[in-house]
Structure 1
């Protein structure tokens, strides 16, 4: 007795192999749940089919029909997310957003696709939600009919899943644009510092951890930010955040030489500071000031 079948259009031999590989891997779990199941693959030049059959009566099975449908939905979901999702995502992004610059559009797409594969933070939550949307939709289809045409499903039954992708695309575009704006502004600050005359011979930047900084002059006395009404300083105050008050003060005092004392030199804020002040800056992890103010030992993350 045929229980269900899943068919999909293929464009080349690689598509066929991917379908076979993923479904073969997933059917092992199905077979563990119910040893009475039998699976068969068939393929033509442009289509592949995966069929599951089993002996009746169902009451003799070691797993319920509902469990089998759930596991089958998970298997098909794995195939879509591995082999189809990036193509669907790219189509959706270019249909939802307009880009004036082709190169920028390509970079945003790569950023978007990278986020889709990322398995931590907000990206992980999006991935789990997308997987659940797909699996639930496929399970519902298998409840309605035992023959699932994957191409038809991808065309007509993807609305909840595509909404998840749409939200992820919006997030990716926003994050990319913010990152670009930040990079451009950091470059502007670097340019400004390059032409700025030094006002102090030496400044020690003590990074105590996270967003906690202490600024000291050459005699290890605390530095207060001088008043400055310049346009760059005004924009800096408007556009940057907590650690940026450190950047703002450093630009205002304009040190000829700056030593950044830190136990975490790889942190983005440390890298940004060193980049803005370029050859005026050096990063130190083990000088006497470091030992006195940060303690002994090098904490690397």
Structure 2
């Protein structure tokens, strides 16, 4: 097996101990089939790791794969460290960053989303790990010198661009969720401040944004003149959802029972969040009113 040189840039010196340790650890893992020697030297820009391996017995495909895998895993550790730092910087410089209230939660949210999101049924972290390692192996099959910073910047350009897109999408999702949560809290406060006008209100969910309203005795109710909702609520919800919320504000019920075939639908989820323990969802029911097919 030929000699391979891995050149570690001093601009990333903060990652050097981790990289050195991982390189030796990966070689040790392969010591059942090969022996290795690592020599180090340096110039102004790089710390060079000269790696030499040879089989303990005969040179087989298994030995070659173990050798390449050890090198690829070590490079991947460097890439992972760079990736974590890059994600942090990407978030901090995003145009929406200053709009967030919980910045620590934002970083955790993005990291979890990037690491755990699935692609075609495969765990994203495992997918990324395999992809980086394959890029390293493909490069080392044809070259014996690998500069880590150049590899990260150029050979992984498409990978980084995809990561960039994922981070940006995750930030937008987080901002939307945070703003929606704040809106729900305002709605909760708004309904909490209203005096009760109805003891028990029954809602029959007949289609996506259609409800019919009944009192405890199953007498049909029609909303009175709707109460004007806070401006941010009216602007945040589409007309149909805003109309439902306005109707409930007019009834101002102490308790709500919703009869629905679609308990996970968007309007139901919103009402559950707003009314919390004042609401009961019923999916097992039978009465003369028949909901139309939905969705």
TM-score for the superposition, normalised by structure 1: 0.63
Hey, what does 2:14 align to over in structure 1? 11
The runs of 5 or more residues in structure 2 that have no matched partner are 288-295
More helix by proportion, 1 or 2?
1
When the two chains are superposed, the root-mean-square deviation of aligned CA atoms in Å is: 5.2
Structure 2 CA distance for aligned equivalents of residues 173 and 42 of structure 1: 43
Deviations 1:113-158 (A, max 9, x none): 2212225479967546644553343234313422323234234443
Hey, what does 1:93 align to over in structure 2? 91
Within a 5 Å distance, the mapping from 1:49-198 to structure 2 comes to: 49=49, 51-54=51-54, 61-63=59-61, 71=69, 75-76=73-74, 78-80=76-78, 82-95=80-93, 97=95, 99-100=97-98, 105-120=103-118, 127=125, 130-131=128-129, 133-198=131-196
Aligned length: 279
Structure 2 CA distance for aligned equivalents of residues 155 and 122 of structure 1: 26
1:219 pairs with 217, 220, 241, which one? 217
SS at match of 2:146: strand
Q: Is the 8 A contact 1:6 1:50 kept in 2?
A: yes
| 1:39 aligns to 2:36 (yes or no) | yes
Could you say if the C-alpha distance between residues 247 and 70 of structure 1 is closer, same or farther in structure 2, counting changes exceeding 3 Å? farther
Could you say if the C-alpha distance between residues 238 and 54 of structure 1 is closer, same or farther in structure 2, counting changes exceeding 3 Å? same
CA drift at 1:167: 0.5
Structure 2 CA distance for aligned equivalents of residues 232 and 218 of structure 1: 29
Q: Is the 8 A contact 1:237 1:248 kept in 2?
A: no
TM-score for the superposition, normalised by structure 2: 0.64
Hey, what does 1:298 align to over in structure 2? none
CA drift at 1:196: 2.5
Structure 2 CA distance for aligned equivalents of residues 90 and 77 of structure 1: 20
SS at match of 1:203: strand
